[in-house]
Amino acid sequence: MEAQTKPRLTVAEYLAFEAESEIKHEYIDGEIYAMTGGTDNHSRIAANVIIAVGAQLIGSNCYVHTSEMRIKAASSRYVYPDLSVVCGQARHEDDSKTSLLNPILVVEVTSPSSMTYDHGLKREMYQQVASIEAYLIIDQRSIRAELNMRVDSDWRLQTFTGREDIIPLPMLDCDLPIAQVYRGIVFSA
């Protein structure tokens, strides 16, 4: 018996499919991946970050996008981070304004199924987007955040594991306290 392969989609086919779909899909080099629902911790951590960062951006020219905003990470790669931030005028791929081209910060809250992807391929993709100055990966199972920040032409990794730690976000002229990220979160034993 022959193994069946998934049909590969062109970018145009993916975008047409996604426009009609009731669920979100990421697109990586011709293949689509359904975005599954998250856990309570995942949702609350993402909301906590949106609130904490968003409140500090009031009055600035920067604003937060939720996970509904798709990012074009390369010519054949489209992803949905848990949140992203744009400063200045947002640039989109087309008039529908569904694919953002110039985020300055992207944030992913990991799940057991996305851990390898978030730390591997997704990190590589985000580091190739010229506008992205920082990629923040937040663990939902323990207090742990990894900030990948562009420094000149290289990337620097900082890890935060203490509830009293503060994540610096100089590209936004703000700081993100870990205590706010994990506000109300209870970890399973």
Tell me the per-residue pLDDT of 87-129, one tens digit each, with 9 for 90 and over: 999 999 988 899 999 999 999 999 888 888 888 889 999 999 9
Identify whether 10 is part of a domain: no
Predicted TM-score (pTM) of the model is 0.92
Domain count, the chain: 1
Residue 137 lies in a domain: yes
Compute the distance between CA of residue 167 and CA of residue 164 in angstroms, rounded to an integer: 10
The answer to whether position 99 is within a domain reads: yes
173: domain CATH number is 3.90.1570.10
Residue 68 lies in a domain: yes
Q: Which domain holds residue 129?
A: 39-181
